[in-house]
């Protein structure tokens, strides 16, 4: 499935001018922040050029994501990313932290959107019309573009964390539950970048 502009075109036709697609990266990871991307397409843009090439970030190689992220930043009407830290995830839970990262991405946009298209999440605290879609990153261009920016930004953060905590291999698995990552946690315990409310760290905390 390739993302299309059906939803954006419907909303442009209804008079909306700045439609923001939002998506997150890192929701299921064991370490590092959850990151949200927000992308506003130029009003009336066609399904050509970069907008015909974006895909759900999970379907792209790291190199291709980097290329597309550079082009999205150059050609979007507005874009931003927002983060919620591992500590914030532990404090409020992953779903509220995901919404917090999205709110921060919206706050960082250089233009104020007048409609939101979201993957899975609803931002009930945001006073803007919005729709949430299952697998929106696979169906909707602005959400797919946001997924790419979120993933590229988060991967860069995890590469940086690998310099601070070299035992854990964050540059390779980006904080997800790879066998090597789980083995390192079992051997050395969690580091400050880990989400202590997530298994297996949660069980370790319970046992102590």
Mean pLDDT by 10 residues, the chain (208 residues): 96 98 98 98 97 96 98 98 98 98 98 96 96 96 98 98 97 97 95 94 57
Q: What is the spatial distance between Cα 206 and Cα 192, in angstroms, rounded to a whole number?
A: 17
Q: Identify the pLDDT of residue 201.
A: 87
Q: Identify the pLDDT of residue 203.
A: 61
| Burial bucket for residue 208 (CB in 10 Å: 0-12, 13-18, 19+) | exposed
Q: Identify the pLDDT of residue 205.
A: 52
Q: What is the spatial distance between Cα 39 and Cα 78, in angstroms, rounded to a whole number?
A: 6
What does the domain layout of the chain look like in residue ranges?
6-207
**Which tokens is 11 given?**
């909303």
Q: Could you give the 3-state DSSP secondary structure of residue 130?
A: strand
Q: Identify the pLDDT of residue 88.
A: 98
Q: What is the spatial distance between Cα 59 and Cα 56, in angstroms, rounded to a whole number?
A: 6
119 touches 24 (CB < 8 A):
yes
- Residue 145 phi, psi (nearest 5): -60, -40
Q: What is the spatial distance between Cα 8 and Cα 17, in angstroms, rounded to a whole number?
A: 9
Q: Identify the pLDDT of residue 2.
A: 94
54 touches 100 (CB < 8 A):
no
Give the Cβ contact number of residue 101 at 10 Å.
31
| Burial bucket for residue 120 (CB in 10 Å: 0-12, 13-18, 19+) | middle
- CATH superfamily of the domain spanning 6-207: Ribonuclease H-like superfamily/Ribonuclease H (3.30.420.10)
Beta bridge partners of residue 190, listed in sequence order: none
């Amino acid at each position: 499935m390739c993302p299309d502009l059906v939803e954006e075109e419907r909303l442009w036709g209804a008079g909306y001018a700045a439609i923001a697609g939002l998506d997150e990266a890192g929701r299921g990871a064991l370490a590092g922040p959850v990151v949200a991307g927000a992308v506003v397409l130029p009003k009336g843009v066609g399904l050509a050029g970069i907008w015909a090439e974006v895909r759900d970030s999970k379907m792209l190689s790291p190199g291709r994501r980097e290329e597309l992220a550079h082009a999205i930043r150059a050609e979007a009407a507005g874009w931003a990313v927002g983060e919620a830290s591992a500590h914030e995830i532990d404090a409020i839970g992953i779903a509220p932290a995901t919404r917090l990262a999205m709110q921060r991405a919206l706050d960082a946009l250089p233009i104020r959107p007048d409609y939101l298209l979201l993957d899975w999440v609803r931002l009930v605290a945001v006073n803007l019309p919005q729709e949430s879609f299952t697998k929106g990153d696979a169906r909707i261009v602005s959400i797919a573009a946001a997924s790419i920016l979120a993933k590229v930004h988060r991967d860069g953060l995890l590469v940086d964390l690998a310099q601070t905590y070299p035992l854990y291999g964050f540059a390779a698995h980006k904080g997800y539950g790879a066998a090597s990552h789980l083995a390192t946690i079992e051997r050395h315990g969690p580091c400050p970048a880990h989400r202590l409310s997530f298994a297996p760290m949660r069980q370790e905390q319970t046992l102590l």
